[in-house]
Amino acid sequence: MLGRRSALGRGLMTVPAALVYIGLMVVPVGYAVYYSFTEYNGIPSQAPEWVGLENYTRIFTDPTGDMHSSLWVTGIIAVVGAFGVNAIALGLALMLRRTTPFTAFARAVMFYPHVLSALIVGFLWQAILGPQGAVNNLLTGSGRSALPFLSDPDWALATMIAVIVWAQLGVQLVLYLAGLQAVPADLQEAATLDGAGRVQVFQHVTWPALAPTVTVTIVTSVLSLLKVYEVVLGLTNGGPGDATQTWAYEILAVSFANNKVGLACAQAMLLIVVAGILSFTIIALRRRAEEGAEALS
């Protein structure tokens, strides 16, 4: 009797959270799924018209020639950006793992970009790297040629990835620092006493112990990179041409902006599906790697 009452009490306590979750997540996503099968402009007095898979067909056939290029751009950003942000964050975390006044200051500096709005980050780097920005002014002032950071399509994409990596570094660094705190010091010490060098200690002790952290950082960075929008808006606004138009830019600045809510919802659904597949794939791969490592040990 007491157990049943206790279970009821626990169940009741989850109701507020469940209501919030359903109201803010399940219902909107449900509507988005529905709208993705309709032609709808978002205006309540004009009812959505059921069009079946037409929006999805439009995405796959891409008759306007916009969407496939933005998928390609998003893929490059996700792959290169995730690798870059994790490699740099891990390297910095290894350098800053010991707490000293300098490392505490350095950690704060590294985290600082994350405090800034992504839109501000974009504007800031545009002022630094634009054709008449600070860097090019320095270059031309010293008699060198200006660099096309934002005016050449390839350079612009590379610049944008670099800026995104810079902006996201702080959070990944904190995660890696937290992960490193959890690596057993006695294991590292034992390995060192057994004659292992720094690289061997990292490879055989630190890296396996960091595996769960690596999974989290890779998944969160990939998810974050798949929906990059504000930096694009502030830094390049998708240009030059369509060189830096991402999938999220396509959804928010093209489809939504032109009242194509049905198409935008279909695009968002695909983003959710792709993000889900990538996340589960990364988790599965990491888990298999961890199991393999455990079997060997």
Q: Given the rule CB under 8 A, which of 92-100, 104-112, 151-159, 179-187 is the region that contacts another protein?
A: 151-159
Q: Which amino acid is at 232?
A: V
242 binds another protein (CB under 8 A): yes
Q: Given the rule CB under 8 A, which of 29-37, 72-80, 88-96, 288-296 is the region that contacts another protein?
A: 29-37
151 binds another protein (CB under 8 A): yes
The correct pick among 178, 258, 293, 294 for binding another protein (CB under 8 A) is 258
106 binds another protein (CB under 8 A): no
Q: Are 255 and 67 spatial neighbours (Cβ–Cβ below 8 Å)?
A: no
Among candidates 88, 82, 295, which has minimal Cα distance to 208?
295
The two most distant CA atoms of the chain are separated, in Å, by 85
The correct pick among 110, 164, 169, 226 for binding another protein (CB under 8 A) is 226
Q: Which amino acid is at 289?
A: A
Min dist CB 203 to another protein, Å, is 25
The correct pick among 257, 288, 292, 293 for binding another protein (CB under 8 A) is 257
Min dist CB 49 to another protein, Å, is 11
Q: Are 75 and 228 spatial neighbours (Cβ–Cβ below 8 Å)?
A: no
Residues 6+ apart with CB under 8 A from 115: 170
Min dist CB 96 to another protein, Å, is 26
231 binds another protein (CB under 8 A): no
28 binds another protein (CB under 8 A): yes
Q: Given the rule CB under 8 A, which of 37-45, 83-91, 164-172, 174-182 is the region that contacts another protein?
A: 37-45
The correct pick among 96, 156, 214, 232 for binding another protein (CB under 8 A) is 156
What are the residues facing 27 on neighbouring strands?
none
Which is closer to another protein, CB of 131 or CB of 204?
131
The correct pick among 152, 162, 204, 290 for binding another protein (CB under 8 A) is 152
Among candidates 277, 268, 278, which has minimal Cα distance to 29?
268
Q: Which amino acid is at 207?
A: W
237 binds another protein (CB under 8 A): yes
Q: Are 135 and 129 spatial neighbours (Cβ–Cβ below 8 Å)?
A: yes
160 binds another protein (CB under 8 A): no
Which is closer to another protein, CB of 11 or CB of 23?
23
Which is closer to another protein, CB of 58 or CB of 107?
58
Which is closer to another protein, CB of 23 or CB of 197?
23
What residues line the site for another protein (CB under 8 A)?
23-25, 27-29, 31-32, 35, 39, 41-46, 63-66, 126, 130-132, 146, 148, 150-153, 156, 219-220, 223-224, 226-227, 236-243, 245, 251-254, 256-261, 264-265, 268, 271-272, 275-276, 279-280, 283
